[in-house]
Amino acid sequence: MERGSGFYRYHKHAKYGSGLNMEQASRDSDDHETNVPNAANQPNNLPAATRRGDNANNNTNPTKEVREQDQYMPIANVIRIMRRILPPHAKISDDAKETVQECVSEYISFVTGEANDRCQREQRKTITAEDVLWAMGKLGFDDYVEPLSLFLSRYRESEADRSSILRDIFHHKRGTTATIDIGGGAAAGAMSTPLYMQTFPIVDQHQHHHHHHHGIDSPMLGGVYYGFAQGNAGEGNGSDGAGGPSSSQNGFSSYDPYAPFK
Amino acid sequence: MRQAGTYSGIFSAGISGKTGPHSLPLARIKKIMKKSGDDVKMISGEAPIVFSKACELFIQELTQRSWTETIQGKRRTLHKEDVASAVIATDIFDFLLGLVSNSSCSSIDPPVAEH
C-alpha cells in the first residue's frame, strides 16, 4: 500500500516534466513528513516546487507502522553480501538481517551528510564521488578510500571506453572524449545493443592497427567469451532484487554475446 | 580518439565489470542519499556508484565483526545482539549506536541520520 502510494506520487511528479524540477520532486516524494497536495499542481517553476515541500498533508504515510522497504537496500542483496564472508554453516537471524539492512541506510546517510556539509561549505550544489570518498576518510573509513578510488577509476575507464565505442558505432567522429553520464549511457547502451552486434566487425577492424594483427576469428571471440563468462561468474547471482532502474543502468550487461551463435 | 586498450577494456572492465549487474541498486542508494538531509540538492552520477561498492565493504566489515561476536558466544547463528556488540566494540560504527541500542523499536525507526 505504501509502495503503491509512492508510485502514485512519482507518477504525479512525472507530469511536472521539467528536468530542473525532477531532483526536487523526487526529494519531495522521499520526504515522509510532507506530501504533495493535490491543489498544488501549479505551474512548473522552482518556487512552486520548493513550496510544495512545506505544505504538510497528513492523509498518508503512517511511517511509524510500516517498515518501508524502499528506504533500505533490498534485503536479498544485503544477505548475499553478508553470506559472502560468513562460513557456509553460518546462520543469520532475521532481526540481524534487518539490523544490517538498517545500518546500511544509516551509513549512506551518515557519509552523505558529511559530504553534503563539505559541499555547502564550498558552496557547491552537487555531491560528487570525491566528496563521498573524502567524507569516508574523514569519518574513519580510511580503509575504504583506496579500494573505492580504484573502483571509481576503473569505472571511469570503462565508461570512457564505452563512450568511445558508442561513438564509433554511431559514427560520431568527434575528437572530444566526452563522457556519457549514467542515464545517457544506459539509454544509449540499451538502444544500441542490436546495432552493436551489427557493427562489431567494424570496430574490430579499427582495432587491428593497435593489436598484433590477429585474425578476426579466434582471439576476438575468445575475448568475448572470456569477458562475459568471467563477468557473469564473478558477479554471480547479481540480478535478483536489482531490477528496474539498476538493471537498466547498464544496458550492455543484458546483452547476450552468444545469441548469434546459438 | 581510439586507444589500444579499448577493445580488451570493454569486455573485461567495461560491460559487466562496471559495478556488476549491480549488487546494490543505484536508484535506491540515491534515494537514501537524498533523504539524509533536506539540503542535499544534487548528486553526481558517480556518487551512488561509489556507494554501491562502499556499502558492500561496509556490510562485510559489519558482518565480519558481528560474526566474531557470535563465535565468541559459541553460537552458530548471527543475532541482532551480535551486530549491536560489534557496533559498540568498533569506533567507526559509533554512528550506529542509536540504531542498535533501542532494540525494541529500532526496526521502525526511519534511518535518517541527523545527529
Between these two residues, A38 and B75, which has the higher pLDDT value? B75
- In the block, residue with C-alpha cell 543502468: A249
The nearest alpha carbon in chain A to B102 belongs to: A99
pLDDT tens digit sequence for A146-176: 999 999 999 999 888 888 887 777 765 555 5
Band (pLDDT 50/70/90 cuts) for residue B22 is low
pLDDT tens digit sequence for A193-211: 444 444 444 444 444 444 4
What share of chain A has pLDDT > 90, as a percent? 33
In this complex, is the C-beta atom of B74 within 8 Å of any C-beta atom belonging to chain A? no
d(CA A118, CA B81): 34
What pLDDT score was predicted for residue A149?
96
CB A241 within 8 A of CB A74: yes
d(CA B5, CA A161): 8
Query: How much is the ipTM here?
Result: 0.76
CB-closest option in B4, B50, B114 to A129: B50
d(CA A35, CA A52): 8
Chain A residues lying within 8 Å of B16, measured CB to CB: 227-228, 230-232, 234-235, 250, 252-253
CB A36 within 8 A of CB A3: no
Between these two residues, A124 and A218, which has the higher pLDDT value? A124
Chain A residues lying within 8 Å of B89, measured CB to CB: none
What pLDDT score was predicted for residue A126?
95
CB-closest option in A23, A230, A246 to B26: A246
Q: How many CA atoms lie within 13 A of A255 on its CB side?
A: 24
Contact A74 B87 (CB under 8 A): no
Q: Is the pLDDT of residue B7 over 90?
A: no
Band (pLDDT 50/70/90 cuts) for residue A248 is very low
Contact A85 B60 (CB under 8 A): yes
Between these two residues, A45 and A171, which has the higher pLDDT value? A171
Compute CA A224 distance to the chain's CA centroid, rounded to the nearest angstrom.
25
Q: Please give the mean pLDDT across all residues of chain A.
A: 63
Please compute the mean of the pLDDT values over residues A21-49 and round it to a whole number. 42
Chain B residues lying within 8 Å of A112, measured CB to CB: 32-33, 36-37, 40, 113
Please compute the mean of the pLDDT values over residues A113-127 and round it to a whole number. 95
Contact B10 A239 (CB under 8 A): no
Between these two residues, B23 and B39, which has the higher pLDDT value? B39
Band (pLDDT 50/70/90 cuts) for residue A46 is very low
Residues counted in chain A? 262
Q: Which of A85, A78, A130, A137 is nearest to B32 (CA)?
A: A78
What share of chain B has pLDDT > 90, as a percent? 60
Please compute the mean of the pLDDT values over residues A187-194 and round it to a whole number. 44
What pLDDT score was predicted for residue A53?
39
> Which residues on adjacent β-strands are paired with residue B78?
A92
What pLDDT score was predicted for residue B8?
41
pTM of the model: 0.54
pLDDT tens digit sequence for A221-232: 444 444 444 444
What pLDDT score was predicted for residue B42?
93
pLDDT tens digit sequence for B48-83: 999 999 999 999 999 999 999 999 999 999 999 999
Q: Is the pLDDT of residue A217 over 80?
A: no
Q: Is the pLDDT of residue A79 over 90?
A: yes
What pLDDT score was predicted for residue A259?
54
Contact A99 B35 (CB under 8 A): no
Contact A111 B14 (CB under 8 A): no
